[in-house]
Chain A
Amino acid sequence: MASRYDRAITVFSPDGHLFQVEYAQEAVKKGSTAVGIRGTNIVVLGVEKKSVAKLQDERTVRKICALDDHVCMAFAGLTADARVVINRACVECQSHKLTVEDPVTVEYITRFIATLKQKYTQSNGRRPFGISALIVGFDDDGISRLYQTDPSGTYHAWKANAIGRSAKTVREFLEKNYTEDAIASDSEAIKLAIKALLEVVQSGGKNIELAIIRRNQPLKMFSAKEVELYVTEIEKEKEEAEKKKSKKSV
């Protein structure tokens, strides 16, 4: 059945599916994992770094990009599609600032990206964008925001979410471990993001890239050393928790 209705994007199948959009969601699963966490005073984006070829310049393989001083996003899926979407979003951020004299709200730019994606699900001869994005930032009112968009052009606000390969495993971990305590302090929120990624990242801390935005501060990308420090701290806490458990059982 599917083969007759998945050639042209503008065709619905008899049971109401837009197969190209669903296939685009499969393309997202081919990208490495990205996780976003909304804390009270901080927003965190963590991604699984793809291993870079020997002769490749690492700086050109970036999953986390700033859209403006106060908004950044991480994506999963087709690299080239992401580049196009990010360029359009950056231009829109500046255009908005020039015309309205106010920086974009996180919701505005998310809606812009989502509308762009939806247009491509309803145009003849085009295919949808094969990316999902996690957009984080702080608005002028000082409230932290996290939004997720997908190839169909829908967007939702989240407290914490994951996209890309093994996103389901990470999301289940977040559902269990996202508590008010866990995001009470900035370092706790960062640790939660790293712990969530460690569930699925294949070779530990050296393959994790982290970025945070604090209220009224620009995007900060963590260096590999800073990530390692947090990973060591997490491992120490794990050991202590296990020691306590074995003491209790004795």
Chain B
Amino acid sequence: MAATFFGEVVKAPCRAGTEDEEEEEEGRRETPEDREVRQQLARKREVRLLRRQTKTSLEVSLLEKYPCSKFIIAIGNNAVAFLSSFVMNSGVWEEVGCAKLWNEWCRTTDTTHLSSTEAFCVFYHLKSNPSVFLCQCSCYVAEDQQYQWLEKVFGSCPRKNMQITILTCRHVTDYKTSESTGSLPSPFLRALKTQNFKDSACCPLLEQPNIVHDLPAAVLSYCQVWKIPAILYLCYTDVMKLDLITVEAFKPILSTRSLKGLVKNIPQSTEILKKLMTTNEIQSNIYT
């Protein structure tokens, strides 16, 4: 028990378990209605992988169906914009599938008729080298859906001879450091890699006690367990919405082995990026 500033007494959370075992037993008895609701919710939250053109689901996981040597995953709108402007316009990429999922973060409530513009995780491969894959993930994958996502994409027994690169952003206030956040040179990059990733990163490694969250963490953990070489480039920024300076902070990655050979025309890419910025500007009058 703890007393707060306002004089109220609240129960402090205890990791050892609750004292009231009896109350829990009663709560555990589930009615058929509860079971039905739970099953409905599980169906609603299922992660489905399908081909958009034929609207058919993929029977096996994506990387079991197609051999893969390189897989670049962009999670979040700034990382997605970076890959769109710098990598996707330097070659011909063909869409091989998309992951459709619903959770409380989605704007739509209809799960069966998500339109083609709302496919949140799209997978592409390079036409000239079909073992190079790219994933543009601009939705939030909830904790209970991450394992499903990994299974549907990587499968239950992934190959070890591929290299994974993950790009994502995080707000700079999440970065734990002894300096004050005002003096940090945001946006800045940090990297975290699995044990089997032998190349060096193009930026400093993520210092303790900082941790990675959500889908990027799930992918990295999966790769570490399955001994797949993988590296995560995390951009700490103070502007989480689509922002030119944040996207440009990913530029050092263009010179690494992960993206070598995939980027050709950098000045043109910068122009494409600027266009993306202007078309995607969300009108908000709260801040001026």
Contacts and interface: CB of A to CB of B under 8 A. Distances in A.
Interface in B178-201: 182, 185-186
Contacts of A200: 245
Contact of A29 (B4, B238, B244): B238
B50 to A, nearest CB: 36
A61 B5 contact: no
Contacts of B277: 202-203
Interface size class of A (residues with CB under 8 A): 20 to 34
Contacts of B139: none
Interface string B275-288: 00110010101111
Given A53-B283, A168-B185, A168-B186, A202 B274 contact: yes
B278 A50 contact: no
Given A26-B238, A168-B185, A169-B245, A76 B274 contact: no
A202 B244 contact: yes
Contacts of A63: 288
A147 to B, nearest CB: 19
A120 interface: no
Contact of A30 (B278, B281, B283, B287): B287
A125 B277 CA distance: 39
Nearest to B285: A79
A27 interface: yes
A51 interface: yes
Given A202-B244, A202-B277, A32 B288 contact: yes
B209 to A, nearest CB: 13
B8 to A, nearest CB: 12
Contacts of B58: none
B286 A78 contact: yes
Given A29-B239, A166-B245, A203 B288 contact: no
Contacts of A128: none
Interface in B240-288: 243-245, 274, 277-278, 281, 283, 285-288
B5 A51 contact: no
Contacts of A195: none
B39 interface: no
B161 interface: no
A8 interface: yes
A168 B285 CA distance: 23
A75 interface: yes
A50 B285 CA distance: 9
A176 B164 CA distance: 40
A31 B286 CA distance: 9
A51 B244 CA distance: 15
B276 to A, nearest CB: 11
Interface in B205-258: 238-239, 243-245
A82 B281 CA distance: 23
A79 B283 contact: no
A214 interface: no
Interface in B74-124: none
Contacts of A79: 285-288
A165 interface: yes
A203 B274 contact: yes
A78 B284 CA distance: 11
Contacts of B286: 78-80
A4 B185 CA distance: 28
Nearest to A130: B287
Contacts of A80: 286
A79 B288 CA distance: 5
Nearest to B2: A4
A173 to B, nearest CB: 13
A30 B185 CA distance: 17
Given A8-B5, A165-B239, A77 B287 contact: yes
Contact of B288 (A53, A76, A168, A169): A76
A75 B288 contact: yes
Given A11-B5, A27-B287, A169-B245, 7 more contacts: A4-B4, A29-B238, A30-B287, A32-B288, A51-B283, A79-B285, A166-B245
5 contacts: A11-B5, A29-B239, A63-B288, A77-B288, A202-B277
Interface of B: 4-5, 173, 182, 185-186, 238-239, 243-245, 274, 277-278, 281, 283, 285-288
Interface of A: 4, 8, 11, 25-27, 29-32, 50-51, 53, 61, 63, 75-80, 82, 165-166, 168-169, 200, 202-203
